[in-house]
Amino acid sequence: NGGFLVGDILDHNLEFAPLNCATSAPFYAYGQGGGTMRTPQQIQVLPDGTVIAMFFSGSAGASLFSATGELQGQISTPTGRGVYPLGNGEVLFSGGTQVQAFNPVTSQLRTIVNQVTPLASFRWISPATLVPCPADLNCSRVVDGADLGALLGNWGSAGTGDLDGDGTVNGSDLGILLGNWGSCG
């Protein structure tokens, strides 16, 4: 019974849209199990068959469902939008100005990004592999003076700027940075 889970923002249900039938009952109906989540957003099926869905209003945040659609629990996150399970067992969430990772074993929530200036409004999450940019030390996708400053600021020590991995920021690393100068990709 292959198909797709779809968020319905009119009735706040999570619908299962099968590929071989015209209609089906909701996977999760609004209010079922005491849930007050509204405006479903991104939905992901986890490797064990459970489902995690983000909701934007009502009890906003992440909601966890059994493989049969029973509400199992909720994690409050700011204005839930995106969700993606990470390979390390954590679940990545987005909403508002934040991207956060939740560890279901320890119940720890850690902030990955909190972009207030310029104001962000993060939405859906998709995995991506960008063109490598090894000398882009500040992750701007451009190797420029800011990266050069970071490298020079750590000259002679280990850490940021040690592009060749020899344990020391030195001339070899400067050569790598200058050889990659400009836009990445």
Q: Where are the domains of the chain?
A: 3-114, 142-183
> What percentage of the chain reaches a pLDDT higher than 90?
30
Give this prediction's pTM.
Answer: 0.66
pLDDT score recorded for residue 1: 61
pLDDT exceeds cutoff 80 at 87: yes
pLDDT exceeds cutoff 70 at 114: yes
pLDDT average, residue stretch 122-128: 85
pLDDT exceeds cutoff 90 at 113: no
Q: Classify residue 116 as exposed, middle or buried by CB count within 10 Å of its CB (0-12, 13-18, 19+).
A: exposed
Residues in the chain: 185
Q: Which CATH class for the 3-114 domain? A: mainly beta
CA dist 90 and 162 (Å) reads: 29
pLDDT score recorded for residue 136: 93
Mean pLDDT of the chain: 87
Return the higher-pLDDT residue of 131 and 6. Answer: 6
